[in-house]
Amino acid sequence: MTIKPNLIGGEWLEGSGAIESINPSDTRDSVGHYAMADAAQMRQAVAAARHAQPAWAATTTQVRSDLLLKTALEIAARKEELGELVSREAGKTRAEGMGEVLRASQIFQFFAGEAVRYGGENLPSVRPNIGVQISREPVGVIGLITPWNFPIAIAAWKLAPALAFGNTVVLKPSQDTPGVAWELFRILERNGLPAGAANLVNGRGSVAGEALVEGVDAISFTGSVPTGRKLAQSAVANMVRIQLEMGGKNPLVVLDDADLATAVECAVNGSYFSAGQRCTASSRIIVTAGIHDRFVDALRQRMRTLKVGPALAAGVDIGPVINQGQLDMVQSYIQTGRAEGAELLEGGQVLERETPGFFMQPALLAGTNDMRINREEVFGPFASVIRAQDYEQALALANDTDYGLSAGICTTSHKHASHFRLNVKSGLAMINLPTAGLDYHVPFGGTKASSYGPREQGSYAVDFYTLSKTAYVGY
Ligand code: NAD
């Protein structure tokens, strides 16, 4: 058995154990074994990043841009192969896997541009004979912690800006998807990554993840709220700058005047594509009384056309959920919903397919906004319809949540679309579009328990990955 090692200080090193990555579409298929770090190895990686940081910060922006562009081009050139790996490891359909790989390439390309584009400001002082110069400096060593549901895109949108602006990094990917990150680091290395500028450390969150907070200057985390909260507490105790992107309980509002076909496609795409395992997935479909029954009938019919099966099989719309634990959790929420008085309208059953995997028919329930199924993130092919009397009640329900990542509305009324955009309490507002599905050149993040700290992505990423320095120059 080959164990693929961790990349620390330019060397591929064995860990103190191994994790096996299993294909959720076929549990007999082992994607590979990956070295698992203990806390001491994580500290070694942080030290390697610390050692490499001054030299990396001193490179020209052209050198950093070249690394990112070459990485982007190799990712794009290998999109089929890498896309297949994403599908094998994360259970995404072929189109979703390849789409994510192309997105990672676009992100590296974008930050190849940002590396040479970012700058500071020159301002006159309010005092005589003084000039003020504001420049941006790297933060230092950044710890990156990523989840399994976008194993290459999320790694890309943290790694690329961190490196572009002169920081060095340690990435700890999710233990469910170590393989995709491992390939990404091989690509970075082949395209000129200096020793220690980016370090890959696979391992358990509670061991390697926790050790990462000590000794870094900043942490960028994407994952669940409980882990985010814990990390924030250690970050504050260690005076570490932190950015958290966490869960959602995203509403899709459907108004009486919506185009029915558009609303149904927004609901199906937003709730069930990628097996509902997107932080921006619509899990609460809030529908006003005049269209409610027609919409629910049309959505149920459309759901019956969805083909669930092994991620890489032809014609499959919905792949498996990531693992047995996640499947059990989604199933338990169906029971919770029923116990609370929700009605199971469609799907929900565990499916047997030609290969042993974690398949389930997407579930649609009808419930009220106070139920646990509508308060807690489920993170699977699971959504619930909530009836509202009118737009005002629909907006109030949309905002009645602890989360605030994405929120959508389907309507043909300009007045309601504009009012919703301005008044929904979320970081993303989608008009006649699914709640999931984003561009890479604009900021991403939410409100309330969904996000903490500065925004990720686009040119706004510079705010987290640099520190400003203000110089006063007398003349
Ligand atoms: P998770 O919180 O269990 O794990 C995320 C990462 O944190 C993993 O790498 C894990 O190993 C690590 N980790 C776990 N415990 C840790 C600890 N004590 N210290 C340090 N690191 C630790 O989340 P997950 O199950 O991998 O991902 C699903 C969650 O991610 C969902 O809640 C989803 O909404 C969220 N998510 C959010 C976004 C976003 O941008 N808002 C995007 C994708 C996923």
Distances (CA, A) of 462 to 76, 226, 227, 375, 454: 24, 27, 25, 33, 9
| DSSP β-bridge partners for residue 221 | 145, 244
Mutation test of ligand 1: which of 158, 182, 227, 401 has the most ligand atoms closer than 8 Å to its C-beta?
227
Phi and psi (nearest 5°) for 32?
160, 170
Encoding tokens for residue 472?
């006063």
What is the atom index within ligand 1 of the atom nearest the CA of 174? Answer: 9
Q: How confident is the model at residue 370 (pLDDT cuts 50, 70, 90)?
A: very high
Output the CA 173–ligand 1 centroid distance in Å: 9
| CB of 457 closer than 6 angstroms to any ligand 1 atom | no
245 is annotated as an active-site residue: yes
Tokens of 267: 């609901």
CB 275 within 8 A of CB 318: yes
Q: Which pLDDT value is given to residue 216?
A: 98
pLDDT average, residue stretch 258-272: 98
Question: Which residue bears the tokens 């562009």?
Answer: 69
Mean pLDDT of 169-186: 97
Among the atoms of ligand 1, which is closest to the Cα of residue 147?
26
Locate 178 and state its tokens: 């170590």
- What domains can you pick out in the chain, each with its CATH number? 3-246+441-474 (3.40.605.10), 250-431 (3.40.309.10)
- Taking the whole predicted model, whether its pTM rises above 0.95 is answered as yes
Task: State the residue for tokens 């459907």.
Answer: 254
Predicted confidence at residue 140, as pLDDT, reads 98
- Span 75-133, pLDDT tens digits: 999 999 999 999 999 999 999 999 999 999 999 999 999 999 999 999 999 999 999 99
Q: Under a CB-based contact definition with an 8 Å cutoff, are residues 276 and 383 in contact?
A: yes
- Which listed residue (96, 183, 245, 456) is catalytic? 245
Six-digit token string for 347: 């799907």
- Residue 223 CA to ligand 1 centre (angstroms): 2
- Assign residue 251 a region (left: φ > 0; alpha: ψ between -120 and 50; beta: otherwise): beta
Is 405 touching ligand 1 by the criterion CB < 6 Å?
Answer: yes
Tell me the three state secondary structure of residue 231.
Answer: helix
Band of pLDDT at residue 34, cut at 50, 70 and 90: very high
Distance between Cα 127 and ligand 1 center (Å): 49
Determine the Cα–Cα distance for residues 96 and 347; give it in Å rounded to an integer: 22
Any atom of ligand 1 within 6 Å of the Cβ of 191: no
Phi, psi of 254 (to 5 degrees): -120, 115
| Mean residue pLDDT across the chain | 98
Q: What integer pLDDT is reported at residue 454 of this predicted model?
A: 97
CA distance 159 to 168: 9
Please tell me the residue having the least CA distance from ligand 1 atom 42: 279
For residues 430 and 421, give the distance between their C-alpha atoms in angstroms, rounded to a whole number. Answer: 8
Residues 6 or more apart whose CB falls under 8 angstroms from that of 383 comprise 267, 271, 272, 276, 281, 282, 283, 284, 285, 362, 363, 364, 365
Verify whether ligand 1 is closer than 6 Å to residue 224 (CB atom).
yes
pLDDT band, very low/low/confident/very high, at 206 (cuts 50, 70, 90): very high
Å from CA of 146 to ligand 1 middle:
6
CA of residue 205 to ligand 1 center, whole Å:
9
- Residue 356's SS3 state is coil
Q: What three-state secondary structure class fits 76?
A: helix
For residue 295, the CA-to-ligand 1 centroid distance in Å is 34
- Residue 233 near ligand 1, beta carbon < 6 Å: no
**Binding site membership of 88 for ligand 1 (Cβ less than 6 Å):** no
What angle, rounded to 10 degrees, do the helices at 61-77 and 178-190 form? 130
Identity at 129, one-letter amino acid code: N
- The ligand 1 atom at the shortest distance from the C-alpha of residue 228 is 2
Dist CA 360 CA 307 (whole Å): 11
The one-letter code for the residue type at 191 is N
First to last CA, the chain: 68
Counting ligand 1 atoms within 8 A of each CB, the residue from 222, 242, 321 with the most, and so the one to mutate, is 222
pLDDT in the model for residue 377: 97
Residue 147 Cα to ligand 1 midpoint, Å, equals: 4
pLDDT (mean) for 219-229: 97
Question: Two tokens at 317?
Answer: 């719309």
The two beta strands, 250-254 and 406-410, are parallel
Q: What is the token pair recorded at 429? A: 């507002």
> If you search the block for the tokens 């009605």, which residue do you land on?
343
Q: What is the DSSP letter of 307?
A: P
Closest-CA residue, ligand 1 atom 30, reads: 223
Sign of CA dihedral 424, 425, 427, 433: negative
Two tokens at 293?
A: 């029954």
Label residue 70 by pLDDT band (50, 70, 90): very high
pLDDT digits (tens, 9 = 90+) for 270-320: 999 999 999 999 999 999 999 999 999 999 999 999 999 999 999 999 999
Kindly state if the Cβ of 202 falls inside 6 Å of ligand 1: no
Token digits for 100?
């994510």
Six-digit token pair at 3? 């164990």
SS3 227: helix
